Amino acid sequence: MAAIGVHLGCTSACVAVYKDGRGGVVANDAGDRVTPAVVAYSENEEIVGLAAKQSRIRNISNTVMKVKQILGRSQKCGPWTWLLSNYP
């Protein structure tokens, strides 16, 4: 029997697999076991993970981070107002 565990943190995400009595964290395409929870959009593509985190300075208006912190909150003043006002 196999089991898969997914961790969706506020700033990162990772996946683990338990199979044949052994567990392990799955590496992403860059070989890292933890992926930054960041998505960036451009005219031609969507960028995720470390590449999106590194490009956020050049593309801040099209970069989404800390989304988990605003899920389930009241949207009285717009979806991005709370997030942007609480960004460090």
pLDDT in tens, 20-40: 999 999 998 889 999 998 888
- Map tokens 């196999």 to a residue: 2
Q: Is the predicted pLDDT of residue 74 greater than 70, yes or no?
A: no
Q: Is residue 79 part of a domain?
A: no
pLDDT value at residue 55: 86
**Mean pLDDT score of the chain:** 82
* The pLDDT of residue 75: 60
Q: How many domains does the chain fold into? A: 1
Rounded Cα distance between 30 and 51, Å, is 10
Cβ atoms of 62 and 42 closer than 8 Å = yes
Instruction: Tell me if 85 is assigned to some domain.
Output: no
Residue 8 pLDDT level (bands cut at 50, 70, 90): confident
Range of the domain at 23: 2-69
Distance between CA 61 and CA 1 in Å, rounded? 44
> Is it the case that residue 77 has pLDDT exceeding 60?
no
Q: Which residues on neighbouring strands pair with residue 27, listed in sequence order? A: none
Radius of gyration of the chain (CA): 16
Task: Classify residue 76: in a domain, yes or no.
Answer: no
pTM over 0.75: no
Q: Which CATH number does the domain housing residue 62 bear?
A: 3.30.420.40
